[in-house]
Amino acid sequence: MSRTSTDTVSTRVKPLAGLLAVLASSALVVGCATASTDAPAPTTAGGTSTDSQDVDCVANGISVQNWNVGEAGADDPMLAVAALYEETTGNTVTVNTVNVEVFRSQLPTYITSNNPPDVLKWLAGSTAAGFAEAGQLLDISDVWAESLGDIPDGLKALSTDSRGNQYFVPTNYYWWAIFYRPSLFADNGYSVPETWDEFIALAEQMDADGLIPVGIGTSGAEWVATAWFDYLNLRINGPDFHRALLRGEHDWNGPEVRAVFEKFAEIQPYIDPNSSGQEWQAGLEKFFNKEAGMNLIGGFLPIPESVGDDLDFFSFPTIDPSIPRVEEAPTDGFFSPATTANPECAKQFLAFLGTNEAQALLRQGANIATNLTFPDSEYSDLVKKGRDLLAAAADITQFYDRDSSQALGNLANAANARFIAQGPRVLDEILNEWDSSSKRVIEEQGLN
């Protein structure tokens, strides 16, 4: 979650729908509800530009600045990717990993440093695009031309700046949905809701049965609260209004946004009241332990072995049937600062990240690999369903702070997390502050 320039948003979201249509029509199966431990058979290490063949990437080596969303000490897949790359090529890679929140705050410093990391993990969307438009990212069009032909055109468009140059290698993406435990639903006679009214009725029944209807944790990760606003706004006002709002073309305290919070207020009493006092993993733990009945989360969720295949999801319920169904599909990947001291060695590594063997290691949880030749055997029914959900969507968005700027995203996160914690009694205060602060950021950053 994060971004900078809002001007490129509308031109970078639509192409992903084309990507998903390609995925839906291909024989690709998508999968693994838990992280795969067996990499598929290697293809090639990926090509690079001709000039790079004369560069000694064994002696030079590259540095990778990485992030994860897990707990401290969690397994870092980038270490496995680096080890495989070194084994395959003989080149040297050094990996430094920090928590995503630390990474987010340091990203501008990483990129503008006099001695920046050679490769950085980040997110597709307006922040990455903003760095590219400012000329701060390495042009890797040659890598795309020579090595990334198996990544769909929709993702190539998402990785292309206004000059037509590629700057980003997408490696995996995922869907958001409301996850549930089928065994819990079966034991209690619950049915999967399709409409908002059915969803609220289910939450009421769960509450009466002594469950927390919706598990969530926003401490240190307020962005999980904003997923609720994204989906409510998309279901009520549609994608065009949503993107325009994120560009600052509407008021955050206007009637359309207030209509969103009228619906938000209907589910807010059924969301874990301890949301602000626990991390998002703690909210998931209650869900996995069947203390909470549902959880709105992305496909990156870490699935315990104890849960196994007892996990499913449904699309965020329909509110207005006249509004086309839109889904969120955040995409992760890598880029290099324009000032890297090792551009050709960085390109070699970026090319490798587009291969099946690298993506098998990077694609943790229920993530979808971006390489269309990724082996069918690596995919589970759960992720195939997620892939199909995205393929059937009328449109695709990234996430509030990926489709907006990081500063505007932070304001949205704070507003939505506070609403979940405190409810409608503070709505006027929340919306007026959100509106004034967002307009101040737009003016200060020249985003309008």
- The CATH number of whichever domain residue 50 belongs to comes to 3.40.190.10
Q: Is residue 393 part of a domain?
A: no
Please state, for a pLDDT cut of 70, what percent of the chain lies above it. Answer: 86
Residue-level pLDDT at 92: 94
Q: Are residues 181 and 289 in the same domain?
A: yes
Whether 400 is covered by a domain: the verdict is no
Q: What Rg, from alpha-carbon coordinates, does the chain have?
A: 21
Same domain, 46 and 154: yes
Residue 105: per-residue pLDDT: 87
Average pLDDT for the chain: 86
User: Is position 309 within any domain?
Assistant: yes
Confidence tier at 39 by pLDDT (50, 70, 90): very low
Q: What is the DSSP letter of 151?
A: S
Residue, of 16 and 162, whose pLDDT is higher = 162
Looking at the structure, do residues 344 and 433 belong to the same domain, yes or no? no
Both 362 and 437 in a single domain? Answer: no
Q: How far is CA 416 from CA 229, 272, 281, 398, in A?
A: 7, 14, 18, 18
In a domain, 396, yes or no: no
Segment 14-43 mean pLDDT: 34
Q: Are residues 158 and 21 in the same domain?
A: yes
Q: In angstroms, rounded to a whole number, what is the distance separating the alpha carbons of residues 250 and 243?
A: 10
Tokens of 426: 């503070």
Residue 51 has pLDDT above 50, yes or no: no
205 and 165, same structural domain? Answer: no
d(CA 235, CA 368): 24
- Say if residue 140 is in the same domain as residue 24: yes
Instruction: List the beta bridge partners of residue 369.
Output: 172
* Mean pLDDT, rounded, for 212-226: 95
3-state secondary structure of 417: helix
Instruction: State yes or no: pLDDT of 220 exceeds 50.
Output: yes
Instruction: Summarize pLDDT for 80-136 with one digit per residue, the tens.
Output: 999 999 999 999 999 999 988 789 889 999 999 999 999 999 999 888 998 999 999
* CA distance linking residue 78 with residue 362, whole number of Å: 7
Whether residue 133 sits in one domain with residue 36: yes
d(CA 387, CA 368): 7
What whole-number distance in Å separates Cα of residue 401 and Cα of residue 25? 30
CA separation, residue 13 to residues 58, 112, 184, 221, 292 (Å): 38, 27, 36, 24, 33
Residues 159 and 240 in one domain: no
Tens of pLDDT, residue by residue over 388-436, are: 898 889 988 899 988 998 889 999 999 999 999 999 999 999 999 999 9
Look at strands 395-397 and 326-328 and give their pairing. parallel
- At 53, the pLDDT band (50, 70, 90 cuts) reads low
Secondary structure of the chain: what % helix, strand, coil (to 5)? 50, 15, 40
- Give residue-wise pLDDT tens across range 335-385: 999 999 999 999 999 999 999 999 999 987 678 999 989 987 888 899 989
Q: Give the pLDDT confidence score for residue 27 in this predicted structure.
A: 27
Cβ 5 vs Cβ 408: under 8 Å? no
Q: Do residues 370 and 425 share a domain? A: no
**Band of the pLDDT at 147, cuts 50, 70, 90?**
very high
The residue that leads in pLDDT, 17 or 177, is 177
H/E stretch holding 157 reads helix 153-158
Regarding whether 145 and 213 lie in a shared domain, the answer is no
Domain contains 375:
yes
Three-class secondary structure assignment of 341-378: CCHHHHHHHHHHCCCHHHHHHHCCCCCEECCCCCCHHH
Query: Would 366 be classed as within a structural domain?
Result: yes
Are 292 and 425 members of one domain? yes
**Beta strands per DSSP E along 164-288:** 169-173, 176-180, 212-214
User: Is residue 252 scored above 90 in pLDDT?
Assistant: yes
Q: Which residue has the tokens 């690596």?
A: 378
Q: Which domain holds residue 42?
A: 9-173+331-379
Instruction: Say how many domains are in the chain.
Output: 2
Q: Residue 2 domain-assigned?
A: no
Domain assignment of residue 54, yes or no:
yes
User: On the CB side of 194, how many CA atoms lie within 13 Å of its CA?
Assistant: 1
- Model confidence at 438: pLDDT above 90: yes
